Structure 1
Amino acid sequence: MGQTVSLLTKAHDFTRDLIAEGGNILFVGTKKQAQETVEGEAKRCGMYYVNQRWLGGVLTNFATIQTRIDYLVRLEDQQARGEFGHLTKKEALKLEKEILRLNRQIGGLKEMTSLPSALFIIDVIKEKIALAEAKRIGIPVVAIVDTNCDPTGIDYPIPANDDAIKAIRLICSSIADSVIEGKTGEAMAPEEEEKEEGVEELEAVETTEPVVSTPEE
């Protein structure tokens, strides 16, 4: 477990320092085991997230994504002001369904007005498009790296089982804590119960070969 803890600490420190310098991070985890945790932890620390389907171009064609975000925000504003009441029932229902659809796609990006400073990815194989986009435009990546993953090109790999819910929760919580620490300048003490629950999962997937793709200090 030593390597996992060491690399998780490096990822934690990187994220904390990034946020302290005014940066931000996008949480990405669309697999079923990660969806709830990704949304909850991203919201807890006030960051952005994608937990359904990654839309191609979120990073490489952000202007188009921003147009969709603006449209969603505008629709929600109109709904909140009661403007849908002036429409026919059919028209209002259509727009309500559109709001639901857009929120599933980009709801976690509504506050993201520019490209993120870094990505935190749960499963780099499932999120290969997100990883490729980040690498293409030079956005650093923090990611959980399972034994079947190639850590090459991942700036801050964290060896762990990306299918184990407890491990996902522990690592997501650590990254979210690092964001809060970066914002407040105060260290977050991990919950002992949560830490103990995750340790067993992390131990079960300790890689047999060291992950060497780490940035220079």
Structure 2
Amino acid sequence: MKKVDIQELLNSGAHFGHLTKKWNPNMAPYIYGKKNGIHIINLYKTAAKIEEAQKALKQIASAGRKVLFVSTKKQAKSIIADKAQKVNMPYIAERWPGGMLTNFVTIRKAIKKMAAIDKMKKDGTFETLSKKERLQTDRLRAKLEKNLGSIVDMTRLPAALIVVDINKEHVAVAEANKLGIPVFAMVDTNTDPRKVTYPIPANDDASKSIDLVLDYLTDAIDEGLAIRKEEKAKAKAEKEAAKQMAEKAEVAVEEPVAEEAKAENAEQAEAKEENK
């Protein structure tokens, strides 16, 4: 797992907070000081929180659970998508669909609608529709793909959320909190860290800072997935070995029985000969 480097954090600008007049007092424990009217984040606190988050995310991934990445802000969208795809996790980089978590059943129905349209195109049913109906269906499919295409493989609620900018993604955070889903989030000096389970004090506006922090987190997820893969391979090998042992034991039992039957048949044949 990638070790947190203070110098890397410094180079990425992770220590730059917001204007002091915009601060949230609940961020005080994570603030080192201020310079030119801007709060400076304590990067040693940042490193400690990243390491804490890494351990938890590694455990979640090794258990085979999904982590949903969330950020719809301009400078984070492409980063979120890239990091999530690298570890095969779902993500939301466009508009957050209201009720995404709290009304997940409805969201799943919309995803199934996408699958149904795809099936229509494969089996030829789509071509039986009128030109107007085909156009409407294509538009619906494109809209669903834009909003939900990145979570199409998420068949149940995620085990956790990774969020960049909890002020902008306040609806996602609120839904997760309501359902007791842990939230891992970058918290800048203008946010309330009490709203998330694993706050990571860092600049959530600079793309370099966002990229670096998410890199640390996805590395932990990747390691957890590797453990999961190894455990599954081991379990499969053990199952196969047990099957082979059972087959050998069955053969070992059958052989003496066959020998006994053969001997008995020989005795019966000998007895018949004597009676003659």
Q: For this structure pair, what is the TM-score category when the shorter chain's length is used for normalisation?
A: 0.7 to 0.9
Give yes or no for contact 1:20–1:183 (8 Å, CA) kept in 2: yes
Give the secondary structure class of the aligned counterpart of 1:158: strand
1:89 to 119, 131, 139: 131
Matches within 5 A, 1:46-195: 46-185=88-227
Give the secondary structure class of the aligned counterpart of 1:135: helix
Give yes or no for contact 2:173–2:195 (8 Å, CA) kept in 1: no
Give the secondary structure class of the aligned counterpart of 2:193: coil
Alignment correspondent of 1:212: none
TM-score, L = length of structure 2 = 0.64
Query: What do you get for the CA RMSD once the two structures are aligned?
Result: 1.6
Q: In structure 1, give the amino acid aligned to 2:102.
A: T
Bigger CA drift: 26-35 or 176-185? 176-185
Aligned equivalents of 1:92, 1:38: Cα separation in 2? 33
Total equivalences in the alignment: 186
In structure 2, the CA distance between the partners of 1:85 and 1:179, relative to structure 1 (3 Å rule), is same
Aligned equivalents of 1:82, 1:173: Cα separation in 2? 44
Aligned equivalents of 2:198, 2:136: Cα separation in 1? 43
Structure 1 residue ranges without an equivalent (≥5): 187-217
User: Which entry has the higher C-alpha Rg, 1 or 2?
Assistant: 2
Give yes or no for contact 1:118–1:140 (8 Å, CA) kept in 2: yes
Alignment correspondent of 2:51: 9
Structure 2 residue ranges without an equivalent (≥5): 1-42, 229-276
In structure 2, the CA distance between the partners of 1:80 and 1:166, relative to structure 1 (3 Å rule), is farther
Q: In structure 1, give the amino acid aligned to 2:194.
A: T
More helix by share: 2
Query: Which runs of structure 1 show a deviation greater than 6 angstroms over 4 or more consecutive aligned residues?
Result: none
Give yes or no for contact 1:73–1:110 (8 Å, CA) kept in 2: no
Aligned equivalents of 1:39, 1:81: Cα separation in 2? 32
Give the secondary structure class of the aligned counterpart of 2:77: helix
Q: In structure 1, give the amino acid aligned to 2:71.
A: G
Give yes or no for contact 2:66–2:154 (8 Å, CA) kept in 1: no
Give yes or no for contact 1:122–1:162 (8 Å, CA) kept in 2: yes
Q: In structure 1, give the amino acid aligned to 2:50.
A: L
Q: In structure 2, give the amino acid aligned to 1:142.
A: F
TM-score, L = length of structure 1 = 0.81
Bigger CA drift: 127-136 or 6-15? 6-15
Structure 1 residue 153, shift from structure 2 partner: 3.1
Structure 1 residue 93, shift from structure 2 partner: 2.2
Q: In structure 2, give the amino acid aligned to 1:115.
A: L
